[in-house]
């Protein structure tokens, strides 16, 4: 996976004060604590406590896949969250996205920047559309889905599945970037791959 990611230029990305680095075994104890915390666990799917051994098996399983890229998010030199693109379908240009932060960093505004960096990764992967599974109780993520033009695909019990199509998502995200005077920075970030949209 590391080699694949390196080829695609997504093994390590830095933007402003934020760095995304592919997850390693050394990061597992940290993300294990965050994922099991009361601030994060209720929003995880599945909503179950995970042990270090489960995480280790999981990481070993996905380590050589080019369809699952797990990242540790580093803000101003401190590990602060986890982000992933998974189940990447290169034929249909679609994948799933997921994220959680250390409780200490929830609500600090970093989520929006990850939303921008995600566009750069998708561009480099050649993936257009995003799928997200969100709990009906996850007010923040539901608001995020609305904000970036998510279409509800299905409801399965407490879980809503959204698709965020590239055209609508980009248009919303570009508008959001303009509103905070970050448009040029965003264009530069995405443009590293050589294409704008
Ligand atoms: C969801 C989460 C990652 C958002 O991060 P945050 O630090 O709380 O959010 P911030 O205040 O920094 O930034 C908010 C922005 O994050 C982005 N955001 C929120 N949920 C998001 C998600 N699921 N995926 C991507 N971006 C998201 C949005 O742009 C949002 O802007 P808005 O509040 O104006 O809609 C964080 O709250 C968290 O870890 N929650 C627990 C786990 C969780 O719910 N994960 C998502 C499962 S679908």
Instruction: Dihedral sign for Cα 81, 197, 88, 133, please.
Output: positive
pLDDT confidence bin for 197, thresholds 50/70/90 = very low
Cβ atoms of residues 19 and 13 within 8 Å: yes
Name the residue of 111, 139, 164 to mutate for ligand 1: max ligand atoms within 8 A of Cβ. Answer: 111
The first and second tokens of residue 159, run together, are 């879980």
Check residues 5 and 110 and name the one with the higher pLDDT. Answer: 110
Q: What is the mean pLDDT of residues 85-92?
A: 97
Ligand 1 close to Cβ of residue 100 (< 6 A): yes
The phi, psi pair for 90, rounded to 5°, reads -70, -20
pLDDT number for residue 1: 63
Residue 119 has pLDDT above 70, yes or no: yes
User: pTM for the complete prediction?
Assistant: 0.93
**pLDDT, tens only, 132-168:** 999 999 999 999 999 999 999 999 999 999 999 999 9
Ligand 1 close to Cβ of residue 102 (< 6 A): no
**pLDDT, tens only, 171-195:** 999 999 999 999 999 999 997 544 4
Q: Whose CA is nearest to atom 5 of ligand 1?
A: 111
pLDDT number for residue 2: 64
E-strand ranges in the chain read 12-15, 18-22, 69-75, 78-89, 94-101, 129-135, 151-156, 159-164
**pLDDT, tens only, 9-24:** 888 999 999 999 999 9
Ligand 1 close to Cβ of residue 115 (< 6 A): yes
Counting DSSP H helices and E strands in the chain, the numbers are 7, 8
The phi, psi pair for 54, rounded to 5°, reads -65, -45
Q: Whose CA is nearest to atom 14 of ligand 1?
A: 111
Q: Break the chain into its structural domains and give their ranges.
A: 2-191
d(CA 164, CA 104): 28
3-state secondary structure of 129: strand
Name the residue of 16, 18, 33, 140 to mutate for ligand 1: max ligand atoms within 8 A of Cβ. Answer: 140
Q: Which CATH architecture has domain 2-191?
A: 3-Layer(aba) Sandwich (3.40)
**pLDDT, tens only, 26-79:** 999 999 999 999 999 999 998 999 999 999 999 999 988 999 999 999 999 999
């Amino acid at each position: 996976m590391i080699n694949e990611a390196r080829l695609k230029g997504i093994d390590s990305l830095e933007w402003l004060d934020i760095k995304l680095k592919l997850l390693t075994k050394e990061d597992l104890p940290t993300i294990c604590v965050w994922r099991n915390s009361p601030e994060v666990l209720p929003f995880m799917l599945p909503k179950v406590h995970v042990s270090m051994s489960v995480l280790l098996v999981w990481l070993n399983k996905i380590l050589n896949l080019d369809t699952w890229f797990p990242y540790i998010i580093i803000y101003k030199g401190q590990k602060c969250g986890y982000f992933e693109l998974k189940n990447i379908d290169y034929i249909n240009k679609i994948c799933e996205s997921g994220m959680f932060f250390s409780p200490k960093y929830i609500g600090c505004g970093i989520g929006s920047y990850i939303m921008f960096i995600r566009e750069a990764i998708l561009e480099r992967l050649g993936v257009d559309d995003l799928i997200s599974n969100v709990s009906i109780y996850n007010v923040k993520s539901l608001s995020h889905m609305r904000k970036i033009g998510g279409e509800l695909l299905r409801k399965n019990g407490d879980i809503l599945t959204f698709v965020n199509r590239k055209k609508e998502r980009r248009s919303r995200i570009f508008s959001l970037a303009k509103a905070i005077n970050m448009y040029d920075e965003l264009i530069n970030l995405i443009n590293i791959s050589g294409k704008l949209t």
